[in-house]
Amino acid sequence: MPELPEVETVMRGMQIALQGRTIVRTIIRRHDLRWRIPADFSQTVTGSTLLNFQRRGKYILIRLSCGQSIVLHLGMSGRVLLDSPETPQPHEHVVFETDDGKRCAYIDPRRFGMMDLVPTPDEHSYRAFVKMGPEPLGNSFSPQTLLEACKGRRTAIKPFLLDQHVVAGLGNIYVCEALYRASIAPTMPACDLKARAAGTLVRAIRTVLQDAIAAGGSSLKDYVRPEGGLGYFQHAWQVYGKHNQPCPKCPGTPTCAGVQHMTQAGRTTFFCPQHQKNG
């Protein structure tokens, strides 16, 4: 579920419902997520007020009045459910009960997600953030910085963009969509990116992410937004999951065989070979 737009949607939902609230009780049903939740997690956060929320890449940071920040990553299947019912949901590993009598649940069938603590002043030195690339919607991500990152990198541009050290928050869906929109072949070596194409690519990444955020993210399978509604950006996908369907940019082009797929670095890439070219 969670690439940047989904994480942003989850963060905003939590912010609206939880900012200023105090945690009165914390239930941890399983500590063994991607990494173990710290043993003192419950004791540390209970009694704290949730001061503010921020997203960094695919992580959510929750600043607490006790001086610690919760670091939350949704992995592949993590969900946050606000107004969670009394009856435990399947795979509901953590529940925060707040002073307004509501319950906020973390649900994660595959347990690839994580929940950790870091002292708020030390957030910037948290392992995951130290070498993380720029925010794609921020000023520090530009054609120039992207070209700089591409220098000497022979790996294909698609797996390259999945590397969180290059740019933060992109995942398999939005990389496929951005490369398609920019008409760049996923197999093109990163170091072959030209200035003009870098500009197009940066614009494509920004617009696809912004459009997805505006749509509340993409809903796959049982993913719902924290407040229970569905994101609907999956209806705007042009290539992801569209194997053998017509390429929207090549209507009636006889040479266009439609959307193809292949595997790169163990992940499926969807693309239109007719439309997406090197350089």
Residues that bind DNA (CB under 7 A): 1-3, 6, 34, 57-58, 73, 75-77, 90-91, 109-112, 128, 152-156, 159-160, 162, 164, 170-173, 218-223, 265-268
Among 177, 247, 179, 184, smallest CA distance to 212 is for 177
Q: Are strands 23-28 and 59-64 parallel, antiparallel or unpaired?
A: unpaired
Check if 58 is active-site. yes
Sign of CA dihedral 100, 213, 45, 68: negative
Residue 120 to residues 15, 23, 39, 124, 183, Cα–Cα distance (Å): 17, 17, 19, 9, 41
Could you say which of 29, 36, 267, 277 is catalytic?
Answer: 267
CB atoms within 10 A of CB 196: 10
Catalytic residue selected from 3, 6, 92, 177: 3
Find the shortest distance in angstroms from Cβ 15 to DNA: 20
Task: Closer to DNA by CB, 7 or 50: give it.
Answer: 7
Q: Least distance from C-beta 25 to DNA, angstroms?
A: 25
* Residue in 55, 58, 158, 242 annotated catalytic: 58
Min dist. Cβ of residue 191 to DNA (A): 8
58 vs 63, beta carbon nearer DNA: 58
Least distance CB 4 / DNA (angstroms): 8
| Residue type present at position 230 | L
CB 233 within 8 A of CB 9: no
Task: Confirm whether 3 is a catalytic residue.
Answer: yes
Q: Which of 2, 5, 134, 136 is catalytic?
A: 2
Nearer to DNA, 77 or 200 (CB): 77
Q: Which is nearer to DNA, 109 or 258 (CB)?
A: 109
CB of 274: closest distance to DNA in angstroms? 21
Distance between CA atoms of 105 and 108, rounded to whole angstroms?
A: 10
User: Is 90 part of the annotated catalytic residue set?
Assistant: no
End-to-end distance of the chain based on CA atoms, in angstroms? 31
Exposure letters 94-114 (e unless 16+ CB within 10 A, then b): bbbbbeeeebbbbbbbebebb
23 vs 259, beta carbon nearer DNA:
259
Q: Of 63, 79, 69, 68, which Cα lies nearest the Cα of 7?
A: 79
List active site positions: 2-3, 58, 267
